[in-house]
Amino acid sequence: YFLKYNIWFTAVALITAEAQNTLEYLEVGAKLILQPKPFSGPIKSITWRFNDNIVGVLDEGQSLRYSTAFRDRASVDTTTGVLEISNMTKTDSGLYKVTINNKIQDGGYDVGVIKQVPKPELKITPSTCSNESKSCLLSCDGDITEAGPVTFYFYFQKGDGVWKEREENITIMNDNDTQAVGNFSCRMKNPFGQKDSGLVNNPFYVPPKPVPIPPTVGIVLGVLAGLGVIGGVGGGVYYTKNKSKNDRPSASPNYNANDSDGRPLNGMHSDSKEDP
């Protein structure tokens, strides 16, 4: 789906001959620097072209000339052959080629000039979308006409929700899965970075009902409670043996907490022997 590309985070993009067959992205406003492949002899003539239009040309024995479109922004070094164009705009996207001493250098430089992605807005449609709807549409919205290749991601806030790459518009069904999602968010990403929308409430969200304690958990808790009581009694006996008989082992919170639920105490008594 994606072409191979390089990106330039700096305000200046130097593209050398080695990178020629790669689509190079630079940001709107940056300076482009294109460096030719090695050539022999001093430059007698040179022509830089952009999509088959002339950027700058030096004909043998004449002075350097630029096309009106590039006159204020471009410069060609007649010793090195390097072309510089400042303040790149979207319309400067395309193929640059150079001819030196009447030899055209093959390949060329494929350049894309793009903006950062905007902060997207997550929209839910139709506007009547509610918990009564069967399905609705989520759109990751924003002006991306100059943002180059953009990928979209959605985030469903549910447990450890993760970002997933999706289409720009996705349908959500009012089913158990979606009902467990609290909020949605979406993300736009291009070669220069990414931005996220805010969290948007899921109209299908159903808050979880309080879960009754399953019987097995109850038994485990009962066993633990029994051990706690026995521990408390054992500790209490040890304590009274080594201290005054009038002292009560009421300091043990375990003992007090489990005293009212004395049921497992007898049943668990034999186990207390394994208790160190």
Ligand X SMILES: *[C@@H]1O[C@H](CO)[C@@H](O)[C@H](O)[C@H]1NC(C)=O
For binding to ligand X (CB under 6 A), which residues are involved? 87, 89, 125, 131-132, 139, 157, 168-169, 176, 182-183, 199, 201, 205
Tell me the closest approach of the beta carbon of residue 266 to ligand X, in angstroms: 42
Tell me the closest approach of the beta carbon of residue 220 to ligand X, in angstroms: 27
Complex with ligand X: residue 11 or 219, whichever CB lies closer = 11
Complex with ligand X: residue 19 or 180, whichever CB lies closer = 180
Tell me the closest approach of the beta carbon of residue 145 to ligand X, in angstroms: 12
In which residue are the tokens 């093959």 written? 106
Tell me the closest approach of the beta carbon of residue 196 to ligand X, in angstroms: 12
Nearest-angstrom CA–CA distance, 15 and 111: 9
- CA dihedral 178→180→182→188, nearest 10 degrees, is -40
Tell me the closest approach of the beta carbon of residue 48 to ligand X, in angstroms: 19
Phi and psi dihedrals of 213, rounded to 5?
-70, 120
Complex with ligand X: residue 80 or 89, whichever CB lies closer = 89
Which residue's Cβ has the minimum distance to ligand X?
A: 182
Nearest-angstrom CA–CA distance, 25 and 177: 40
Tell me the closest approach of the beta carbon of residue 228 to ligand X, in angstroms: 36
Distances from the Cα of 245 to the Cα of 19, 70, 98, 238, 249, angstroms? 91, 103, 104, 11, 10
Nearest-angstrom CA–CA distance, 173 and 185: 16
Complex with ligand X: residue 32 or 268, whichever CB lies closer = 32
Complex with ligand X: residue 99 or 139, whichever CB lies closer = 139
Based on its alpha-carbon atoms, the radius of gyration of the chain, rounded to whole angstroms, reads 37
Tell me the closest approach of the beta carbon of residue 149 to ligand X, in angstroms: 14
Distances from the Cα of 255 to the Cα of 101, 225, 230, 233, 258, angstroms? 99, 9, 8, 7, 6
Which structure tokens are listed for 75? 């410069």
Complex with ligand X: residue 6 or 169, whichever CB lies closer = 169
Q: Which of these, 176, 131, 138, 180, lies nearest to 158 by C-alpha position? A: 180
Q: Give the three-class secondary structure for 271.
A: helix
Complex with ligand X: residue 86 or 101, whichever CB lies closer = 86
Complex with ligand X: residue 80 or 87, whichever CB lies closer = 87
Tell me the closest approach of the beta carbon of residue 110 to ligand X, in angstroms: 22
Q: Give the three-class secondary structure for 216.
A: helix
Dihedral-angle region of residue 67 (phi above 0 means left; psi in -120 to 50 means alpha; beta otherwise) = beta
